[in-house]
Structure 1
Amino acid sequence: MAKGKKKEGKPLYRAVRFEIFPTSDQITLFLRVSKNLQQVWNEAWQERQSCYEQFFGSIYERIGQAKKRAQEAGFSEVWENEAKKGLNKKLRQQEISMQLVSEKESLLQELSIAFQEHGVTLYDQINGLTARRIIGEFALIPRNWQEETLDSLDGSFKSFLALRKNGDPDAKPPRQRVSENSFYKIPGRSGFKVSNGQIYLSFGKIGQTLTSVIPEFQLKRLETAIKLKKFELCRDERDMAKPGRFWISVAYEIPKPEKVPVVSKQITYLAIGASRLGVVSPKGEFCLNLPRSDYHWKPQINALQERLEGVVKGSRKWKKRMAACTRMFAKLGHQQKQHGQYEVVKKLLRHGVHFVVTELKVRSKPGALADASKSDRKGSPTGPNWSAQNTGNIARLIQKLTDKASEHGGTVIKRNPPLLSLEERQLPDAQRKIFIAKKLREEFLADQK
């Protein structure tokens, strides 16, 4: 739960995950802890959700409407760099309607006052645990595990509020944990250790300890750690009535290597797309196809879902086809995350360790990559851009590249995509991607002067 600003020389964080095989008594213990953390989550959720509905929801609604009006008037830049006070130099040079500016300042001030007077912080809710931990089950469960649960809820609400502040009307708040027969994850920063090739997880005042052998591959990675940070115990199938496996993830620190000096001639520029990358590097210019396992699996999933329409929900046939659909989605996700993207990152690192990339929003929103109103974006339900939206694949690829580049002392810098003329947008896809990467290089180098 430790927070703070990034510092130079800060270690890198990595994680390993491996399966464990608990006994029936240990599973009963897991469920006991999970139920307590479920209660912690739900009580904190109720407090935050009530505050949002009563004090913040209407303000965020008006912020979304104000952003829409500014965008329709051609002044979407009014709402950029919201953290800055007043207008920046760029806005002063433009003839921005002062009514739009004053509306922005008024709404942000109103939101700030509302949070000062009625906001619920993570530390408020952590301090509230003290009174609950005097007696009963609350006192037996490790406090740190309860704090990590509150921290997870805090992060979920912050993400939701950031989306609402950006004017996204479809953003959904975190959910309550309502299922009584489900196993919810157990996170913690203490009560565990790795020794002699095994992980030991102590359940505090309950008086029991889980011991599990760590597989060889994960153990070798943990041997490079300078410090263990946290663990997370989860089950791949939350519903305990269904078959599932238990897993433990361990986050740890590794030393951060010395930074490689940034030389402009050695930077690689990437134009990000849903299906391919435009690459301009010191070693050449080319397009690199991204793994799109959805091209194989999505038609099969769609066909199976069509066959579900004529089947009675809950019947044996319905359950069988739903299980097949779930397996297909699992294979699709596994192939996208574990195989293709690592190969792409490995190829990119052969061209250097410093990258400048375009930052895209792959969503079915106006102006986004999967904008359904633009035929050239292929935003229909069968288009490749549509299939890429809301999966996190592009963001995950950039994050993997960032992690691997940092291990070699490199950096990844995100920039807005260059603006293209109508003629430039009509170039063939591969040629357009390389053109965008070239233009990205020109703009980046111009800003460095």
Structure 2
Amino acid sequence: MQLTKKIKIYPTEEQVNVLWELSEKCRCIYNLALADRKNAWCNEQRSVGYIEQQNKLPEFKENNPEYKVVYSKVLQGVLKKLDANYKSFFALRKNGDMTARLPKFRSNKYFMTLCYNQSGYKINNTNIKFAHSVNKTSLDFEFNEILENVRQVEIYNDDPYKGRGDFYLSVTYDVFPKAYTDNGCYQAIDAGITKIVTCINLKGKIHEVKTPRPDKYWQKKMDSIKSKKDHCMKNSRKYLKLHKNYRVMETKKSNQLKDFQHKLSRKMVENTRANTIIVGDLKVKKMAQPKIINGEKQKKTKRIRSRNRSTQNQGYLSRFIEFLTYKAELRGKRVIRIDENYTSKECYLCGKRHDMPLGKRTMECDCGNVIDRDRNSAINIMVRFLSQNALWTGYLQFVDNLRQTGLPMRIRFLESDFQMK
């Protein structure tokens, strides 16, 4: 298992000049490789892959010795990023996202991320040194902790336009999680908008956590600054000052949401007896209304804009599931994702499917069941997991415990539905 740690560094002016020189060489390689792919397709109707371009690198460096100042693994990392961008484009198109666009050429105004994969760096306790041949300036940086089992280090700028932001190291390292054992305890989680998690276990106990909304505080200030920026000449002194303030607010908002998600995911993993956590396979990208539907541009009302912000700005629900997954694996637990289609719309008591827009928070069924939509979804996720894995005893226990907690429940699945795999 691999984790990534973010470390802030403070390069000197000479080191920044070296980083920009390396970035410029990587940018040229990226643009040349992109042009090679486009020309091969336009002229020969042929696709060029990563391996073919990597094999051309030694000959290219012999003909252009100025590129030898960059460590070879860094140039290979640039080609890998281009290949990953192409694969992402084709995957999005395959999934029906027609707004996806091919990778574009990189401008020299942007700082390129430098990726040192497996080698090209040397770590000595709390010091790291990177290889290069630009000049005699040493690229060595200090940090506050000892890192072991490091696999990859990236140098990047959090505001790459003209390198206005701070420089960071992204360190990827190996960790060794505990072995997983199924102890027969399960917990189902529904991730939502107003409540970030609604949990239920086999005993029928429900736990809910409301979503914090720091974006409501910061968004007004950020919108005000953005409005002022629109009335300034681009790159003027006032424009740059407003842009810097906007970046600071955006960073604080993002950090508050990320901090909350880290603390909540750790607390959930540590405080549950269940070694198996079931979550719905949430597709946050589809929750917001797109700008174009059936070729027509949609008018964004205040209600739609508010809903889109509530779905997309909540610290990214999919990121919270990733935090929960790796923290669970470190403690010998497992997070299982299952299809959650119609879990909020389908009554867990009788199975009837309702029309439940995001603004409707309570389900009222003809069978007499009145329940919060997130609780209904959590129960359906638990039932779906138990039925898919043929856990008939656990299902009967879950039904009985729900009755004891005061929630109506009847057995809707026959024993023949629980086929052993």
Q: TM-score range by the shorter chain?
A: 0.7 to 0.9
Q: Deviations over 1:210-240 (max 9, x none)?
A: 222221xx32xx2xx3x22011112233244
Relative to structure 1, the CA distance from residue 333 to residue 23 in structure 2 (aligned partners, 3 Å threshold; closer, same or farther) is same
**Cα deviations by residue, 1:124-153 (Å, 9 ceiling, x for unpaired):** 111121211215122332111111111122
The structure 2 residue matched to 1:32, chosen from 6, 21, 43, is 21
In the alignment, is residue 428 of structure 1 matched against residue 377 of structure 2?
no
Partner residue in 2 for 1:274? 193
Are 1:370 and 2:311 an aligned pair? no
Q: Distance in 1 between matches of 2:70 and 2:230?
A: 46
Hey, what's the Cα distance between the residues in 1 that align with 2:330 and 2:277? 14
Are 2:175 and 1:254 equivalent residues in the alignment? yes
Indicate the residue corresponding to 1:132 in structure 2. Answer: 60
How far off is 1:310 after superposition? 4.6
Give 1:398's match in structure 2, choosing from 321, 328, 335.
Answer: 321
Cα offset, 1:423, TM superposition? 6.7
- Residue type of the partner of 1:33? L
SS of residue in 2 equivalent to 1:16: strand
Q: After superposition, where does 1:180-195 map in structure 2 within 5 Å?
A: 181-189=109-117, 190-195=119-124
CA distance in 1, matches of 2:183, 2:83: 36
1:348 equivalenced with 2:337 (yes/no) = no
- Name the aligned partner's letter for residue 94 of structure 2: K
- TM-score w.r.t. structure 2 length? 0.76
Distance 1:22 1:167, change over 3 A: same
Instruction: Map 1:11-410; keep pairs closer than 5 Å.
Output: 12-49=1-38, 118-135=46-63, 136-179=65-108, 181-189=109-117, 190-203=119-132, 209-215=138-144, 218-219=145-146, 222=147, 225=148, 227-240=149-162, 243-261=164-182, 263=184, 266-276=185-195, 277-282=197-202, 284-337=205-258, 339-349=259-269, 350-351=271-272, 352-363=274-285, 368-371=286-289, 380-389=303-312, 393-410=316-333
Q: CA deviation at 1:431?
A: 1.6
C-alpha distance in 2, partners of 1:308/1:244? 18
* Cα deviation code 1:130-183 (max 9, x no counterpart): 21121512233211111111112211221121111111111233332112x432
TM-score normalised by length of structure 1: 0.71
- Give me the whole-angstrom Cα distance separating, in 2, the residues matched to 1:446 and 1:372: 35
Q: Highest Rg: 1 or 2?
A: 2
Residues 98-144 of structure 1: per-residue CA shift (max 9 Å, x gap) = xxxxxxxxxxxxxxxxxxx7222111111121211215122332111
1:411 pairs with one of 330, 334, 346: 334
Q: CA separation of 1:23/1:256 partners in 2, compared to 1, >3 Å: closer, same or farther?
A: same
Contact 2:15 2:138 in 1 (8 A): no
The amino acid that maps onto 1:47 is D
Contact 1:236 1:244 in 2 (8 A): yes
Partners of 1:191 and 1:262 in 2: how far apart? Answer: 45
1:132 touches 1:139 (CA, 8 Å); kept in 2? no
Q: Is the 8 A contact 2:198 2:207 kept in 1?
A: yes
Which residue of the partner structure matches residue 69 of structure 1? none
- Relative distance call for 1:272 and 1:40 in structure 2 (3 A) is same
- Contact 1:141–1:206 (CA under 8 A) maintained in structure 2: no
Tell me how far 1:300 sits from its aligned partner. 2.4
Change (3 A) 1:20 1:318: closer
Inter-partner Cα distance in structure 1 for 2:254 and 2:246 = 12
Mark the CA change 1:26 to 1:299 in structure 2 (over 3 Å): closer, same or farther: closer
Matched residue SS, 1:177: coil
What amino acid sits opposite 2:20 in the alignment?
L
**Count of matched residue pairs:** 358
Instruction: Give the letter for the 1:422 counterpart.
Output: H
Residues 1:448 and 2:368 are matched in the alignment = no
In 2, Cα distance between equivalents of 1:353 and 1:281: 11
Distance change in 2, residues 1:54/1:356 (3 Å): farther
Aligned partner of 2:398 in structure 1 is none
Aligned residue for 2:62, secondary structure, equals coil
Q: How far did residue 314 of structure 1 move?
A: 4.9
- Tell me if structure 1 keeps the 8 A contact 2:182–2:276: no
Between structures 1 and 2, the one with greater helix share? 1
Distance 1:167 1:317 in 2: 42
Between the aligned partners of 2:290 and 2:173, the Cα distance in structure 1 is 42
| Runs of 5+ consecutive residues of structure 1 not aligned to the other structure | 1-11, 56-116
Distance 1:321 1:209, change over 3 A: closer
Q: Output the CA distance in 1 between the equivalents of 2:248 and 2:179.
A: 43
1:71 corresponding residue in structure 2: none
